[in-house]
Structure 1
């Protein structure tokens, strides 16, 4: 082969490899893969990958496979914002996906708006991400306020009148308390104790003492992962036998395991149907894909990730063969009555809310969520 032929062959090979390596849609994710919410983050991401991997196995979206670039922010809002910057400005992701935490997601809003990057399915039900409507945020799950209100309504229906509120001193905690207060107002109740704690350095001993002194029949703990576990342990150590209730951000199998002997009877709100309710096509589909991967069952957290992935993929499909950031945002906003498999999602310029489904579950003696 002549020298010029060798050069052209090398260039052709390089071009081929370049084309192959870029035949993908890069999606960014920052979440606490380590730290207090690690168990839930892993399950939610695993659920999303169930669907994304299935789509990729069939050729991807418009001939391009989806690649999820996930960074660990250790559940630190500052690190979440820095990770988002790296993903958006350095890795040039087409969209952001499945972030975790209210202050964490809030911290990256300026970046989303500056670069016109859509965020699909933040794993938080904060009202601040719903109202006012954020142009680049597309929620999938229901709000924390809806969950907290439903939890209080349920307790009131059981004849429980003495309820304590324990919540993280951040935007997530404050948001959940607003929902709880709505439920209490409707039930003509006032909390016997309302205690906030430092999310970074919680001390639950004095909190548990005040709740116990108030003779609470139930305690709604608005916090994440290990904080709820530590609060539960402190309450039991203080002699409280109160019914413990928490929100869907803790709806993972890992959370149940971390509760140990205190798991049985804990009420956890849910924002998706029963993960064993195969009457919902989405649940059946997720179960079948999980089984194909050798998994025996799915968790509510996995179902949340699965649903978010379905919305992401639908947006990418509508964005066309060259899904730029602006095309993805417009495509997502065009979604109307998209059937996830028994639940519908609709967006528009004035509504990025997603679903409004809220339910309750209780952890059974077998360590599984029961409806």
Structure 2
């Protein structure tokens, strides 16, 4: 995907005495710009740049422009830790939008050693929330809450025979617990709870068995490539069962990979509908996107936009002229921040962020409908 050339960035470049000419406030992003999550990572980075460009065009923060420095961790934990160290040495004030449980967990020692905050990691892992990680500030809801929401949606449309198919790793185990809780809450039990290997999903036999069993719906928890393989195998086996997956697959790239089998797939979402101009955050993001030559947003772009707005609001609240890492973290602790119809509250004992969850369905146009 090509990076946006924001109108705001072009305006900033044309003004000789603006924030772009001052010393920049460096923000880092370590995520899988290549590898299995590349599409959604690039989308979230695009959304962040959209907001940072707009702030820079207005003069930046206290006369300083915001510079987003990115490092590709290839969705690998060891690489993520090394990349976080590299950005820490380059003077970033905070990291943002890491993707994946393993890579984010690998960064925790780096955050502690460098007193470096991480804002809005794109993971809902409970291991990053309990116990509290003092340098991690979440934006999105947990994987467990997402999976619970997916199950309750299926039950609300009359589905009773539900199977859980999850990747056999910490992410899958975590989200799987949420699916089980959702089933318990609606007085249902999983018809089966199956696991697959992340590196070799080999889901065709599993989906054939599910089709023969007459299962009405599958909660399919895993990375995009595995979910695509599973959906295609299910349809090839002749099943018309509902498929629900989580927001880690809420990208246009995921829909493209599914092709003709995308229509009807249910995907949980963690922010308001990206086409709903009734929401102030979405309305603001869409306005800036259109000014930059884009007519729409994806869910991942909106998450990146919201994360960037959270970073900017924290930067504005840092006391004094000089902005540092500890001051940035202190500005978040105890803060109540309105991102535009979404209230984020942090305290020294709670960095949980939002609890918002929703469901979408891929429509015939390949867009996420709600």
CA contact (8 A) 1:193 1:210 kept: no
Deviates more, 1:225-234 or 1:291-300: 225-234
Gaps of 5+ in 1: 1-18
Secondary structure (helix, strand or coil) at the match of 1:215 reads coil
Change (3 A) 1:201 1:81: farther
For residues 46-101 of structure 1, give each alpha carbon's deviation from its aligned partner in whole angstroms, at most 9, with x where no partner exists: 1111111111111111111111111111222222222112222x323211111001
Tell me which residue corresponds to 1:76: 76
Secondary structure (helix, strand or coil) at the match of 1:289 reads helix
**Matched residues in 1 for 2:81 and 2:246: separation?**
24
Secondary structure (helix, strand or coil) at the match of 2:199 reads coil
CA contact (8 A) 2:117 2:137 kept: yes
Deviates more, 1:285-294 or 1:200-209: 200-209
Gaps of 5+ in 2: 1-18
Secondary structure (helix, strand or coil) at the match of 1:167 reads strand
The alpha carbon displacement at 1:238 in A equals 2.7
Tell me which residue corresponds to 2:367: 368
| Aligned: 1:254 with 2:224 | no
Tell me which residue corresponds to 2:358: 359
For residues 191-212 of structure 1, give each alpha carbon's deviation from its aligned partner in whole angstroms, at most 9, with x where no partner exists: 2222222223322223323433
Tell me which residue corresponds to 2:94: 95
Tell me which residue corresponds to 1:286: 285
The alpha carbon displacement at 1:112 in A equals 0.8
Tell me which residue corresponds to 1:62: 62
| Aligned: 1:42 with 2:78 | no
**Matched residues in 2 for 1:106 and 1:213: separation?**
39
How does 1:240-279 map onto structure 2 within 5 Å? 240-279=239-278
For residues 92-138 of structure 1, give each alpha carbon's deviation from its aligned partner in whole angstroms, at most 9, with x where no partner exists: 32111110011111111111112111000101112222222211000
Tell me which residue corresponds to 2:14: none
**Matched residues in 1 for 2:83 and 2:209: separation?**
39
The alpha carbon displacement at 1:323 in A equals 1.6
Tell me which residue corresponds to 2:316: 317
The alpha carbon displacement at 1:20 in A equals 8.5
How does 1:131-280 map onto structure 2 within 5 Å? 131-280=130-279
The alpha carbon displacement at 1:155 in A equals 1.0
Deviates more, 1:22-31 or 1:43-52: 22-31
TM-score, structure 2 as length reference? 0.91
The alpha carbon displacement at 1:312 in A equals 0.7
Tell me which residue corresponds to 1:302: 301
Tell me which residue corresponds to 1:32: 32
TM-score, structure 1 as length reference? 0.91
